[in-house]
Structure 1
Protein backbone atom coordinates (compact mmCIF):
# COMPACT_ATOMS: atom_id res chain seq x y z
CA UNK A 1 0.00 0.00 0.00
CA UNK A 2 0.92 3.64 -0.44
CA UNK A 3 3.13 4.93 2.41
CA UNK A 4 1.02 8.12 2.42
CA UNK A 5 -2.59 6.99 1.99
CA UNK A 6 -5.08 9.21 0.21
CA UNK A 7 -8.02 10.56 2.20
CA UNK A 8 -10.50 12.90 0.57
CA UNK A 9 -14.08 14.13 0.99
CA UNK A 10 -16.80 11.96 -0.52
CA UNK A 11 -18.25 13.06 -3.86
CA UNK A 12 -21.68 12.20 -5.33
CA UNK A 13 -20.11 9.63 -7.68
CA UNK A 14 -18.80 7.77 -4.58
CA UNK A 15 -22.29 7.09 -3.23
CA UNK A 16 -22.68 3.52 -4.61
CA UNK A 17 -19.32 2.42 -3.16
CA UNK A 18 -20.02 4.22 0.11
CA UNK A 19 -23.33 2.37 0.45
CA UNK A 20 -21.51 -0.95 -0.21
CA UNK A 21 -19.06 -0.13 2.58
CA UNK A 22 -21.88 0.86 4.92
CA UNK A 23 -23.59 -2.51 4.35
CA UNK A 24 -20.26 -4.27 5.02
CA UNK A 25 -19.87 -2.22 8.19
CA UNK A 26 -23.41 -3.05 9.35
CA UNK A 27 -22.71 -6.78 8.85
CA UNK A 28 -19.30 -6.53 10.55
CA UNK A 29 -20.88 -4.95 13.63
CA UNK A 30 -23.56 -7.67 13.68
CA UNK A 31 -26.30 -5.11 13.29
CA UNK A 32 -29.66 -5.59 11.61
CA UNK A 33 -29.70 -4.92 7.85
CA UNK A 34 -30.80 -1.44 6.94
CA UNK A 35 -34.04 -0.81 5.02
CA UNK A 36 -33.78 -0.53 1.23
CA UNK A 37 -33.13 2.91 -0.24
CA UNK A 38 -30.10 3.89 1.83
CA UNK A 39 -28.49 5.75 -1.09
CA UNK A 40 -31.73 7.65 -1.73
CA UNK A 41 -31.87 8.78 1.91
CA UNK A 42 -28.15 9.41 2.40
CA UNK A 43 -27.24 11.17 -0.84
CA UNK A 44 -29.43 14.26 -0.41
CA UNK A 45 -28.23 14.76 3.18
CA UNK A 46 -24.58 14.17 2.45
CA UNK A 47 -24.31 16.25 -0.71
CA UNK A 48 -26.76 19.05 0.16
CA UNK A 49 -23.95 21.21 1.49
CA UNK A 50 -25.03 20.57 5.09
CA UNK A 51 -22.24 22.30 7.01
CA UNK A 52 -22.50 19.79 9.88
CA UNK A 53 -22.12 16.48 8.02
CA UNK A 54 -18.95 15.12 6.42
CA UNK A 55 -17.74 11.81 5.00
CA UNK A 56 -14.06 11.26 4.36
CA UNK A 57 -12.94 8.39 2.13
CA UNK A 58 -9.69 6.41 2.20
CA UNK A 59 -8.32 5.22 -1.12
CA UNK A 60 -5.88 2.44 -1.93
CA UNK A 61 -2.91 3.31 -4.18
CA UNK A 62 -4.90 2.18 -7.22
CA UNK A 63 -7.68 4.66 -6.40
CA UNK A 64 -10.21 2.21 -4.96
CA UNK A 65 -12.33 3.52 -2.09
CA UNK A 66 -11.55 1.17 0.79
CA UNK A 67 -12.97 2.91 3.84
CA UNK A 68 -14.78 5.88 5.29
CA UNK A 69 -15.21 8.07 8.33
CA UNK A 70 -18.59 9.74 8.79
CA UNK A 71 -18.71 12.79 11.06
CA UNK A 72 -21.15 15.40 12.23
CA UNK A 73 -21.02 18.39 14.52
CA UNK A 74 -22.61 17.87 17.94
CA UNK A 75 -23.08 20.02 21.02
CA UNK A 76 -21.79 19.05 24.49
CA UNK A 77 -24.23 20.62 26.91
CA UNK A 78 -22.00 20.28 29.99
CA UNK A 79 -19.14 22.02 28.20
CA UNK A 80 -21.34 24.43 26.21
CA UNK A 81 -19.17 23.67 23.18
CA UNK A 82 -19.51 21.86 19.92
CA UNK A 83 -17.36 18.85 19.04
CA UNK A 84 -16.94 16.51 16.11
CA UNK A 85 -18.78 13.21 16.48
CA UNK A 86 -17.31 10.44 14.36
CA UNK A 87 -20.35 8.24 13.89
CA UNK A 88 -18.57 5.61 11.81
CA UNK A 89 -15.09 4.57 10.83
CA UNK A 90 -14.78 1.50 8.65
CA UNK A 91 -12.14 -0.08 6.44
CA UNK A 92 -12.73 -3.03 4.15
CA UNK A 93 -11.07 -6.10 5.64
CA UNK A 94 -8.28 -6.31 3.05
CA UNK A 95 -7.45 -2.61 3.57
CA UNK A 96 -6.70 -2.93 7.28
CA UNK A 97 -3.17 -2.74 8.63
CA UNK A 98 -1.80 -0.52 5.84
CA UNK A 99 -2.09 2.92 7.42
CA UNK A 100 -5.48 3.87 5.98
CA UNK A 101 -7.17 3.93 9.39
CA UNK A 102 -4.51 6.22 10.84
CA UNK A 103 -4.81 8.45 7.77
CA UNK A 104 -8.59 8.63 8.22
CA UNK A 105 -8.21 9.52 11.89
CA UNK A 106 -5.65 12.22 11.06
CA UNK A 107 -8.07 13.66 8.50
CA UNK A 108 -10.89 13.57 11.07
CA UNK A 109 -8.69 15.49 13.54
CA UNK A 110 -7.82 17.98 10.78
CA UNK A 111 -11.52 18.44 10.05
CA UNK A 112 -12.23 19.15 13.72
CA UNK A 113 -9.45 21.75 13.84
CA UNK A 114 -10.62 23.36 10.57
CA UNK A 115 -14.13 23.66 12.01
CA UNK A 116 -12.82 25.12 15.29
CA UNK A 117 -14.02 22.09 17.26
CA UNK A 118 -11.99 21.18 20.31
CA UNK A 119 -12.26 17.41 20.23
CA UNK A 120 -13.60 14.31 18.50
CA UNK A 121 -15.81 11.66 20.11
CA UNK A 122 -16.83 8.21 18.87
CA UNK A 123 -17.76 4.75 20.05
CA UNK A 124 -16.97 1.18 19.14
CA UNK A 125 -18.54 -2.10 20.21
CA UNK A 126 -16.90 -3.49 23.35
CA UNK A 127 -16.15 -6.76 21.51
CA UNK A 128 -14.20 -5.03 18.70
CA UNK A 129 -10.76 -5.65 20.17
CA UNK A 130 -8.91 -4.68 17.00
CA UNK A 131 -10.55 -1.25 16.95
CA UNK A 132 -9.97 -0.80 20.68
CA UNK A 133 -6.24 -1.57 20.25
CA UNK A 134 -6.08 0.82 17.29
CA UNK A 135 -7.74 3.67 19.21
CA UNK A 136 -5.60 3.00 22.28
CA UNK A 137 -2.44 3.19 20.13
CA UNK A 138 -3.59 6.60 18.89
CA UNK A 139 -3.73 7.78 22.50
CA UNK A 140 -7.51 8.12 22.63
CA UNK A 141 -9.19 7.81 26.02
CA UNK A 142 -12.23 5.60 26.46
CA UNK A 143 -15.14 6.43 28.73
CA UNK A 144 -17.26 3.64 30.21
CA UNK A 145 -20.85 4.33 29.19
CA UNK A 146 -23.56 2.38 27.47
CA UNK A 147 -25.22 3.68 24.35
CA UNK A 148 -28.98 3.30 24.13
CA UNK A 149 -31.42 3.66 21.26
CA UNK A 150 -35.07 4.35 21.91
CA UNK A 151 -37.61 4.44 19.10
CA UNK A 152 -39.56 7.67 19.20
CA UNK A 153 -42.69 6.21 17.62
Structure 2
Protein backbone atom coordinates (compact mmCIF):
# COMPACT_ATOMS: atom_id res chain seq x y z
CA UNK A 1 0.00 0.00 0.00
CA UNK A 2 1.33 3.45 -0.88
CA UNK A 3 1.07 6.48 1.49
CA UNK A 4 -1.62 8.16 -0.65
CA UNK A 5 -3.83 5.06 -0.77
CA UNK A 6 -6.97 5.19 1.38
CA UNK A 7 -7.25 3.14 4.55
CA UNK A 8 -8.85 -0.24 4.03
CA UNK A 9 -10.34 -3.21 5.81
CA UNK A 10 -9.39 -6.73 4.83
CA UNK A 11 -9.49 -10.24 6.28
CA UNK A 12 -6.65 -10.98 8.66
CA UNK A 13 -3.76 -13.07 7.39
CA UNK A 14 -1.60 -15.43 9.41
CA UNK A 15 1.33 -12.99 9.24
CA UNK A 16 -0.90 -10.33 10.89
CA UNK A 17 -1.20 -12.34 14.13
CA UNK A 18 1.67 -10.66 16.04
CA UNK A 19 0.15 -7.20 15.44
CA UNK A 20 -3.38 -8.44 16.18
CA UNK A 21 -2.18 -9.88 19.50
CA UNK A 22 -0.57 -6.49 20.32
CA UNK A 23 -3.88 -4.77 19.58
CA UNK A 24 -5.79 -7.30 21.67
CA UNK A 25 -3.47 -6.59 24.60
CA UNK A 26 -4.11 -2.83 24.15
CA UNK A 27 -7.84 -3.52 23.94
CA UNK A 28 -7.80 -5.60 27.13
CA UNK A 29 -5.90 -2.85 28.95
CA UNK A 30 -8.33 -0.21 27.62
CA UNK A 31 -11.26 -2.24 28.94
CA UNK A 32 -9.51 -2.77 32.28
CA UNK A 33 -9.36 -6.54 31.73
CA UNK A 34 -6.69 -9.15 32.32
CA UNK A 35 -3.99 -9.39 29.65
CA UNK A 36 -4.36 -12.10 27.01
CA UNK A 37 -2.70 -15.49 27.53
CA UNK A 38 0.89 -15.84 26.28
CA UNK A 39 -0.12 -18.39 23.64
CA UNK A 40 -2.90 -16.22 22.17
CA UNK A 41 -1.41 -16.17 18.66
CA UNK A 42 -1.46 -19.98 18.55
CA UNK A 43 -5.02 -20.11 19.88
CA UNK A 44 -6.21 -17.53 17.36
CA UNK A 45 -4.48 -19.28 14.47
CA UNK A 46 -6.45 -22.44 15.26
CA UNK A 47 -9.73 -20.50 15.30
CA UNK A 48 -9.08 -18.22 12.32
CA UNK A 49 -7.22 -20.34 9.81
CA UNK A 50 -9.03 -23.68 9.82
CA UNK A 51 -9.22 -24.61 6.13
CA UNK A 52 -12.88 -25.64 5.99
CA UNK A 53 -14.96 -23.71 8.53
CA UNK A 54 -13.09 -21.17 10.66
CA UNK A 55 -14.83 -20.65 14.00
CA UNK A 56 -13.73 -17.01 14.21
CA UNK A 57 -13.34 -14.30 11.60
CA UNK A 58 -11.04 -11.30 11.97
CA UNK A 59 -10.98 -8.15 9.89
CA UNK A 60 -8.13 -5.66 10.15
CA UNK A 61 -8.21 -1.93 9.45
CA UNK A 62 -5.03 -0.71 7.79
CA UNK A 63 -3.70 2.80 7.43
CA UNK A 64 -2.44 4.08 4.06
CA UNK A 65 1.11 2.98 4.97
CA UNK A 66 -0.15 -0.58 5.60
CA UNK A 67 0.02 -0.40 9.41
CA UNK A 68 -2.74 -2.38 11.10
CA UNK A 69 -4.54 0.17 13.27
CA UNK A 70 -7.46 -1.91 14.47
CA UNK A 71 -9.44 -5.09 14.19
CA UNK A 72 -12.89 -6.58 14.52
CA UNK A 73 -13.66 -10.21 15.28
CA UNK A 74 -16.92 -11.99 14.74
CA UNK A 75 -18.55 -15.41 14.61
CA UNK A 76 -22.00 -16.73 13.75
CA UNK A 77 -24.10 -17.46 16.84
CA UNK A 78 -27.68 -18.58 17.49
CA UNK A 79 -30.54 -16.73 19.17
CA UNK A 80 -32.87 -19.17 20.88
CA UNK A 81 -35.58 -16.53 21.20
CA UNK A 82 -35.48 -15.71 17.48
CA UNK A 83 -34.73 -19.26 16.33
CA UNK A 84 -32.16 -17.76 13.99
CA UNK A 85 -28.44 -17.20 13.56
CA UNK A 86 -26.83 -13.78 13.81
CA UNK A 87 -23.30 -12.47 13.52
CA UNK A 88 -21.79 -11.82 16.95
CA UNK A 89 -19.16 -9.09 16.89
CA UNK A 90 -16.91 -10.04 19.77
CA UNK A 91 -14.42 -7.18 19.47
CA UNK A 92 -13.96 -3.95 17.60
CA UNK A 93 -10.87 -1.97 18.53
CA UNK A 94 -8.92 0.90 17.01
CA UNK A 95 -5.76 2.44 18.42
CA UNK A 96 -6.35 5.75 20.19
CA UNK A 97 -4.68 7.71 17.37
CA UNK A 98 -6.77 5.92 14.72
CA UNK A 99 -10.19 6.75 16.17
CA UNK A 100 -12.25 9.42 14.46
CA UNK A 101 -10.71 8.91 11.01
CA UNK A 102 -13.38 6.71 9.42
CA UNK A 103 -11.89 3.31 10.19
CA UNK A 104 -14.73 2.32 12.54
CA UNK A 105 -17.39 2.74 9.84
CA UNK A 106 -15.16 0.82 7.42
CA UNK A 107 -14.98 -2.08 9.91
CA UNK A 108 -18.76 -2.02 10.41
CA UNK A 109 -19.33 -2.02 6.65
CA UNK A 110 -17.03 -5.03 6.33
CA UNK A 111 -18.88 -6.79 9.19
CA UNK A 112 -22.19 -6.17 7.42
CA UNK A 113 -20.72 -7.68 4.24
CA UNK A 114 -19.52 -10.70 6.26
CA UNK A 115 -23.03 -11.14 7.70
CA UNK A 116 -24.57 -10.96 4.22
CA UNK A 117 -22.03 -13.49 2.90
CA UNK A 118 -23.06 -15.88 5.67
CA UNK A 119 -26.77 -15.27 4.97
CA UNK A 120 -27.28 -13.49 8.30
CA UNK A 121 -29.52 -10.47 8.76
CA UNK A 122 -28.34 -9.13 12.11
CA UNK A 123 -25.15 -8.26 13.97
CA UNK A 124 -25.12 -8.19 17.78
CA UNK A 125 -22.42 -7.06 20.21
CA UNK A 126 -21.85 -5.50 23.62
CA UNK A 127 -19.70 -2.72 24.97
CA UNK A 128 -18.89 -1.60 28.50
CA UNK A 129 -21.41 0.89 29.89
CA UNK A 130 -18.59 3.33 30.66
CA UNK A 131 -17.29 3.37 27.05
CA UNK A 132 -19.13 6.53 26.03
CA UNK A 133 -17.16 7.04 22.81
CA UNK A 134 -18.11 3.58 21.55
CA UNK A 135 -21.74 4.09 22.63
CA UNK A 136 -21.93 7.37 20.68
CA UNK A 137 -20.37 5.65 17.65
CA UNK A 138 -22.85 2.75 17.77
CA UNK A 139 -25.78 5.12 18.31
CA UNK A 140 -24.72 7.12 15.22
CA UNK A 141 -24.84 3.88 13.24
CA UNK A 142 -28.50 3.48 14.20
CA UNK A 143 -27.82 0.45 16.41
CA UNK A 144 -30.13 -0.21 19.35
CA UNK A 145 -29.05 -1.39 22.79
CA UNK A 146 -30.42 -3.54 25.59
CA UNK A 147 -29.24 -3.39 29.18
CA UNK A 148 -27.78 -6.72 30.27
CA UNK A 149 -24.89 -7.93 32.35
CA UNK A 150 -22.31 -10.31 30.99
CA UNK A 151 -21.32 -13.18 33.24
CA UNK A 152 -18.38 -15.55 33.00
CA UNK A 153 -18.25 -18.93 34.70
CA UNK A 154 -14.99 -20.87 34.63
CA UNK A 155 -15.33 -24.60 34.02
CA UNK A 156 -12.57 -26.93 35.11
CA UNK A 157 -11.09 -29.21 32.47
CA UNK A 158 -12.28 -32.81 32.73
CA UNK A 159 -10.02 -35.17 34.64
CA UNK A 160 -8.12 -37.49 32.34
Fold match by TM threshold 0.5: yes
Q: Which runs of 4+ in 1 moved over 2 A?
A: 1-5, 49-52
Inter-partner Cα distance in structure 2 for 1:101 and 1:72: 18
Q: Which residue of 1 aligns with 2:121?
A: 118
2:20 pairs with 1:22: no
SS at match of 1:87: strand
SS at match of 1:133: helix
Q: Which residue of 2 aligns with 1:128?
A: 131
Deviation at 1:51, TM superposition (A): 3.8
Inter-partner Cα distance in structure 2 for 1:74 and 1:94: 32
Gaps of 5+ in 2: none
Deviation at 1:114, TM superposition (A): 1.1
Gaps of 5+ in 1: none
Deviation at 1:4, TM superposition (A): 4.9
Determine which of 79, 84, 91 is the counterpart of 2:94: 91
State how 1:39-78 maps to structure 2 within 5 Å.
39-49=41-51, 50-78=53-81
Inter-partner Cα distance in structure 1 for 2:103 and 2:5: 9
Deviation at 1:129, TM superposition (A): 0.3
RMSD: 1.5
* Bigger radius of gyration among the two: 2
Q: Name the TM-score, length of structure 2 as normaliser.
A: 0.91
Equivalenced residues, count:
153
SS at match of 1:132: helix
- Measured at CA, do residues 117 and 97 of structure 1 come closer, stay the same or move farther in structure 2, by a change above 3 Å? same
- Measured at CA, do residues 131 and 2 of structure 1 come closer, stay the same or move farther in structure 2, by a change above 3 Å? farther
Q: Name the TM-score, length of structure 1 as normaliser.
A: 0.95
SS at match of 1:30: coil
Deviation at 1:104, TM superposition (A): 0.2
